[in-house]
Amino acid sequence: MAVIVDRSVLTGLSVKDAMRRQFIRLPQTAPIDHTINYLIKHKANALMTLDNAGQPAGVVSKTDIMGAYYAGLPIMSPLSDIMVSPPLFCQLNASLDAALEDMRNKSVYRLYVQDGQDGDIVGVLAYPDMVGLLYRYCHTCAQSRHLRAEASAPDDTVSRLTVKEVMTDNVVAIAETDSLVAVMEALSAHRFGAMLIEKNTGHVPVGVVSKTDLILAYKHGLAVDTSAREIMASPIRVCREDDYLEDAIRKMIFAEVHRIFVQSVGTEEIVGVLSLSDAARIRSGSCHACVSSRIKVETDS
């Protein structure tokens, strides 16, 4: 009898296959200003804080720093004023599928990794790490468009994932003359990592403001009533809704961004956004080729 089993590209992989061994740790007494320097230098979204005994105390993310900016906290305030405690962990040899499910259930972007034998912290696992691993596996798969193109193989047997199947279609934008306060409120309300910025009239996208842009504005002493136009990045990075998912993921990985805005076919209208967390959620970097491996044949004994 044939039965469906829960299987995906991640099946059989463990946390140690995807995690990063390098991660940032700072004393909880370190100032926010100092922390921003580290996050920007290492292109990180968060770091671990340590107590006076050098033990894990909490986590400070760009979201937490944005909250401090919004609240008017002095930039030399210690991390203990804004950190989230305690840090959340997973085990080195735990299933990667289980770690992803734990991250989703707890609505967190990362887990720190402990060695099960002695409890030492040996790395960090975040959505970009998982998507990077998925992309590498799919890119070298015999069904990948890359390898099939090199072999001049016909490509009519594989059902490939498109951006439209995976993207989030809830796109919110604010006007370029709106304040940074408005940007931060919208980011918090919708749990976004970046906000699309439009012209005041015509709903024409002109840029994007990310949490990185906001914490740099905080560091540089910009007032929170500064307009979004003053710090936005332009032009925005886009793909089309009918693009293959693997192509959109490649764009994000090579550009070192966590999201890309999606245009409708034949127009420049923004109809969605694709993030690395969206890509991790579907547990595949490319196509439905792995679906056949989800069929397990059981015979009567």
Position 88 scores a pLDDT of 96
Which pLDDT value is given to residue 290?
57
Select from 250, 206, 204 the least CA-distant residue to 232: 206
Q: If you search the block for the tokens 């691993």, which residue do you land on?
A: 133
Residues paired with 297 in a beta bridge: 2
Residue 289: its pLDDT value, please? 59
Instruction: Please tell me the predicted confidence (pLDDT) of residue 13.
Output: 83
Contact 251, 131 (CB under 8 A): no
Distance CA 158, CA 287 (A): 7
Provide the residue ranges of all domains of the chain, joining segments of one domain with +. 8-126, 163-281
pLDDT, residue 291, reads 42
What is the CATH architecture assignment of 8-126? Answer: Roll (3.10)
Q: Residue 199 corresponds to which tokens in the numbers above?
A: 């012209």
Residues 6+ apart with CB under 8 A from 259: 193, 194, 252, 273, 274, 275, 276
Domain covering 163-281, topology = CBS-domain (3.10.580)
Amino acid identity, position 11: T
Give the other-Cβ count within 10 Å of 266's Cβ: 8
- Please, which residues have CB within 8 angstroms of residue 223's CB and are 6 or more apart in sequence? none
Residue 42 and residue 24 in contact, taking contact as beta carbons nearer than 8 Å: yes
- The pLDDT value recorded for residue 10 is 57
Per-residue pLDDT of the chain (301 residues; tens, 9 = 90+): 333 344 455 567 899 999 999 999 999 999 999 999 999 999 999 999 999 999 999 999 999 999 999 999 999 999 999 999 999 999 999 998 899 889 989 989 999 999 977 789 999 999 888 888 877 777 777 777 666 666 666 555 677 889 999 999 878 899 999 999 999 999 999 888 899 999 987 778 999 999 999 999 999 999 999 999 999 999 999 999 999 888 898 888 888 888 999 999 988 889 999 998 888 877 666 676 554 333 333 333 3
Model pLDDT, residue 294:
36
The two structure tokens encoding residue 122:
């040996």
Give the span between the Cα atoms of 123 and 210, in whole angstroms: 26
H or E stretch at 274: strand 270-275
Contact 23, 11 (CB under 8 A): no
Question: What pLDDT shows up at residue 284?
Answer: 64
The pTM of this model reads: 0.84
Strand runs labelled E in 211-258? 238-240
